[in-house]
Amino acid sequence: MASAPSPQGVMRLPASHRAAVLGAGGALGSACVRAFAAAGASVVALDLREEAARAAVRDLEGRHDAVVVDVTDAAALKALAGDLGALDSIIDSAGIVFDDEIVDMEWAQYRRLMAVNLDGAFFTGAAFGRAMIDARREGAFVFISSTAGLRGEPSASAYCASKFGLIGMVESFAAEVNRHGIRVNAVCPGNVDSPLLRGVAAELGRRQGRDPSDVFGEFARAGAAHRLVRPEEVAELCVFLASPAAAGITGATLRVDCGAMVG
């Protein structure tokens, strides 16, 4: 049965829908947890930090769980996929960022970023994809990439490379599991109003000798709409992509950027 908007405009998922959100303690992850719960799904909030995972499901109506997991640990993800049992959708919003020019790159930071942003996505797809295939269960993956995965940005080469790579992984993964009834898509947010973006502004301000609030203001004015993306706007797209209403969409990359790429 296809999903449809409720009278309040909130998309509804089938009552049996179970979703797992990785990186549930972040701005986008917690928004996804709330959006899936509001759509009627039962949600498993996954995060490296126990309190962050618990906070993501606190005070939500329905039955939800919080679990600690490190996305850079392939064995732990594989074990978790077996423990959690049947899932209908996996939302991977785990990610970190740092800015540095290539000629000055801190390689330990580079390796950590790649381990979380790209290796973690591969490990997530492998663990939960294998579980779905073995259970002969259809499902949907949504990986959070970025508009930084669509064009390079100065001082953001490592982050851009991880997000470019993620889009390539999504397209390949979608082709591999399509015959099993599993869909895989990527969402590319622009500048999201979040602590992560404020941290980037603070770091750029420090390095450039500028007021971080000025840098943050430039981020907010980057899109044609001259505003930041709300985490809820990204989360609502993830719910749609995980729903039966998006049954014909796989291997796609969708932007939520307030027009940053067009003006």
Domain that holds residue 65: 18-190+229-254
In a domain, 217, yes or no: no
pLDDT band per the 50, 70, 90 thresholds, residue 10:
low
Average pLDDT over residues 152-159: 92
What is the count of structural domains for the chain?
1
DSSP 8-state assignment for residue 104: G
Specify whether 110 is catalytic: no
Rounded to the nearest integer, the mean pLDDT of the chain is: 92
3 state DSSP class of 181: coil
3-state helix, strand, coil in the chain (%, to 5): 50, 15, 35
Which positions ≥6 away from 154 have C-beta within 8 Å?
A: 101
- Is the backbone of residue 144 left (phi > 0), alpha (psi -120 to 50) or beta? beta
Catalytic residue among 36, 128, 141, 159: 159
| pLDDT in the model for residue 16 | 94
For the cut 50, the answer to whether the pLDDT of residue 3 exceeds it is no
What distance in Å separates the CA atoms of residue 193 and residue 31, rounded to the nearest whole number? Answer: 12
In a domain, 2, yes or no: no
DSSP 8-state assignment for residue 191: S
What distance in Å separates the CA atoms of residue 159 and residue 99, rounded to the nearest whole number? Answer: 8
pLDDT tens per residue across span 190-215 = 888 888 878 777 777 777 888 888 88
Average pLDDT over residues 57-84: 97
3 state DSSP class of 1: coil
55 and 82 Cβ atoms separated by less than 8 Å: no
- Name the amino acid, one letter, at 149: G
In a domain, 196, yes or no: no
Two structure tokens written together for 14? 């089938």
pLDDT band per the 50, 70, 90 thresholds, residue 226:
confident
What distance in Å separates the CA atoms of residue 10 and residue 13, rounded to the nearest whole number? Answer: 10
What distance in Å separates the CA atoms of residue 45 and residue 257, rounded to the nearest whole number? Answer: 25
Least confident piece of the model among 22-26, 96-100, 104-108: 96-100
In a domain, 45, yes or no: yes
In a domain, 26, yes or no: yes
pLDDT band per the 50, 70, 90 thresholds, residue 4:
very low
For the cut 50, the answer to whether the pLDDT of residue 232 exceeds it is yes
What distance in Å separates the CA atoms of residue 49 and residue 188, rounded to the nearest whole number? Answer: 25
What distance in Å separates the CA atoms of residue 147 and residue 120, rounded to the nearest whole number? Answer: 19
| pLDDT in the model for residue 2 | 39
In a domain, 237, yes or no: yes
What distance in Å separates the CA atoms of residue 81 and residue 179, rounded to the nearest whole number? Answer: 21
What distance in Å separates the CA atoms of residue 22 and residue 71, rounded to the nearest whole number? Answer: 8
Helix and strand totals (H; E) in the chain:
9, 7
In a domain, 198, yes or no: no
CATH code where residue 116 lies: 3.40.50.720
In a domain, 206, yes or no: no
